[in-house]
Chain A
Amino acid sequence: MTLKILPKKALPAWLDGLHANYRLVGPRAKQENFVFDVIQNAEDLRLDYNTTILPPKKVLLPQQETILQFDTSKDFHQVEPVFEDTPTVLFGVHTCDMHAINLMDQVFGQGYPDAHYQTRRQHTAIVTLECLNPCTEFCFCKSMETLSVPEGFDLHITDLGNVLAIEIGSGQGLTLLQHAKMVRDAGPKDYQHLQDVMSEKWPRFAYQLDFDITELPSLIALSYKTEVWDSLGDRCLGCGICNVVCPTCNCFDVIDEVDFDLQSGSRYRIWDSCQLDRFCSVAGGHDFRSSRANRLRHRFLHKFKYQPETYKIVGCVGCGRCAQECLVHISPVDVLNELYRRQVPFASIEQEVLV
């Protein structure tokens, strides 16, 4: 681990340097909340943010993104894909969101690689930030094992009070750091300080799940038919907010838009939500996931079973955003613990039979 130290008072100048050379995106305040947004002035960046309404995925997979531009006015059709390659620094990403970005990289990289996502990703350097306190009452990163930074960051920052400890994750990260002044190598005291901060933070986070995540796949597999889904389906409004705020949800719709000349226009993709009732409907009125209970179950199974099976990464990083925003307070922690509670009697019955 290569560790550098930057005095906090040198941070604004560094940010200005980054802003001058890159599109700098980071957390800033918006009314009582925080959002990831372009940072024009260093003082707008709020490294003390708790969480953001939308995850930083919006930089890599914008809510609405043009993928093709076309012009049919000539006797041939001109169709051009649109790629966005503005050099960007995504600054201050919490570790859970970095886990989510790694999953998104897999989703868009496997099979047929998606060059629209990948172009953005390749031109985005990521500076992650160690969480020292739980961000909200809803987060459960410790249970999901996303409280530590995964690979994939370019720089990783830990706030040590007067100074920032900066771990270098890539050559690109090193380049970013060249825009900072007063950077020095970490000495033994700094390493010690970092270790202290890290061991002090750990107890501040609670385990929220009543079981270990290694049990998740079997728990979910056994829970396919439980009534838990029905009662959740009765509560759920099918509004899709949970998908919108989730850092790992990647489903999209594709829509064409024509200009006033009716001959040129663009095709864009826009976030879609598996909780909406038309998500799976086909012509003839068939809908293969027509109840809210089934759609909710699909969302949970996708995150807690299918994605771990496919990518070896759990599809929920425990950020708590969905629980915070859901109007009827459906929270993954409550749902999973409820599934677990219901499973226990079955497990013990089985054991009795075995004995």
Chain B
Amino acid sequence: MKPILAEKMKLLSIYQPSTMLVSRVESVTELEKLITIELPEGGSFQHRPGQFVEVSLLGVGEAPISISSSPSRTTNSFELCVRRVGSVTNAIHALSPGDLIGIRGPFGNGFPMERFRGKDLLFAPGGLGLAPLRSLINEVIDDRGNFGRVVILYGARHPSELLFRDELETWKERDDVELHVTVDRPDEYWKGKVGVITTLFYDIQIHPRNTVAVTCGPPVMYRYVIMELLGKSVPEGNIWLSLERRMKCGVGKCGHCQMGSIYTCLDGPVFSYSQIKHLEEALS
């Protein structure tokens, strides 16, 4: 039997990436790079903060990566902040401006912006968790009048692992954003707070019923953050998380991302705590 190519059949494959151009590659830390990708001529990319794309390096493979730029600042391009951990992410790190990359998506539900409007927002990213939350935070900042207080509690293991330091500065300078940063282990230059992210909660007063909290990071971290938020009486339905699961297709077919009956790629990756607290496989 002879395989036939799509052209003749005019069939579309949900697995076919669109080829796009890499226009910038910046080092963010030792481990992370920020990649700017140009949309094709006339291409639009109506994503929501919290959505992800499947990034293809032909010959290496595919990896799901959150869109780190906000829709409000995404016209002809978008940004991905990528930590190198394996084959695809290493190949992404080896890219230079002018290289081509394959993109599918955006996929996933994204954050429910309409439910956040008018609320006080508490962002609690840990480590690389800032990559997806940056999209949301900048979206909120660009539409600042429609939200209440904006509090950002950011924790990293070490000062050298803090992402987007320039952007942290601009947030810090705004008087309508409260930014608190902590590191687990300081270096000799670190003047800020030391301790795990939950220690930042002692310093802040919130109005729990009117607060929406959003967290993203490694499981050990978000479990403690959730406990802290519940301790402050933030309603379960107001606590939002973006979860990472192994994903191979991004479109509900390969089965890898299932937590119970939920497909993280379709139904998530954003969930409220009330949606998933009964799912043992979500928070374990």
Binding site for B on A (CB under 8 A): 23, 66-70, 72, 76-77, 79-86, 107-108, 110-116, 119, 224, 250-258, 262-263, 265, 267, 269, 272, 274, 279-284, 286, 288-289, 294, 298, 301-302, 305-306, 309-310
Contact = CB atoms under 8 A, between A and B. Distances in A.
A-B residue pairs, 5 tightest by C-beta:
A251-B255, A81-B13, A306-B261, A283-B85, A112-B251
Given A83-B6, A288-B281, A70 B261 contact: no
6 contacts: A111-B251, A254-B15, A256-B59, A286-B244, A301-B260, A305-B261
Given A272-B256, A282-B245, A115 B13 contact: yes
Interface string B173-211: 000000000000000000000000000000000000000
Contact of B254 (A66, A116, A252, A284): A252
Given A23-B1, A267-B58, A286-B218, 12 more contacts: A68-B16, A77-B58, A79-B16, A79-B17, A83-B6, A83-B13, A85-B4, A115-B14, A250-B255, A257-B59, A267-B15, A279-B256
B133 to A, nearest CB: 18
Given A67-B15, A84-B3, A254 B261 contact: no
Given A114-B14, A262-B59, A85 B258 contact: no
A293 to B, nearest CB: 12
Interface in B246-275: 246, 248-249, 251-256, 258-261, 266
B249 A72 contact: no
Interface in B37-80: 58-62
Contacts of B60: 256
Contacts of A66: 3
Contact of A68 (B4, B9, B13, B255): B13
B94 interface: no
Contacts of B231: none
Q: Report whether over half of chain B's contact residues are helix, strand or loop; otherwise say mixed.
A: loop
Contacts of B2: 86
A41 B253 CA distance: 36
Given A111-B251, A274-B255, A256 B61 contact: yes
A79 B58 contact: yes
B141 interface: no
Given A83-B3, A84-B3, A309-B261, A114 B85 contact: no
Nearest to A118: B11
Given A108-B253, A272-B254, A283-B86, A310 B59 contact: no
B127 to A, nearest CB: 10
Given A252-B253, A279-B256, A112 B14 contact: yes
Task: Tell me which of A86, A267, A309 has the highest count of chain B C-beta atoms within 10 A of its own C-beta.
Answer: A267
B62 A254 contact: yes
Contacts of B259: 288
A149 to B, nearest CB: 27
A65 to B, nearest CB: 10
Interface in B226-255: 244-246, 248-249, 251-255
A81 B260 contact: no
B281 A289 contact: yes
Interface string B1-32: 11111110101111111010000000000000
B284 interface: yes
B118 interface: no
Contacts of A115: 11-14
Contacts of A262: 59
A115 B10 CA distance: 11
B97 interface: no
B100 interface: yes
A83 B1 contact: no
B278 to A, nearest CB: 10
B59 A69 contact: no
Nearest to A289: B281
B11 A112 contact: no
B113 to A, nearest CB: 23
Nearest to A23: B1
B102 interface: yes
Contact of B252 (A111, A254, A265): A111
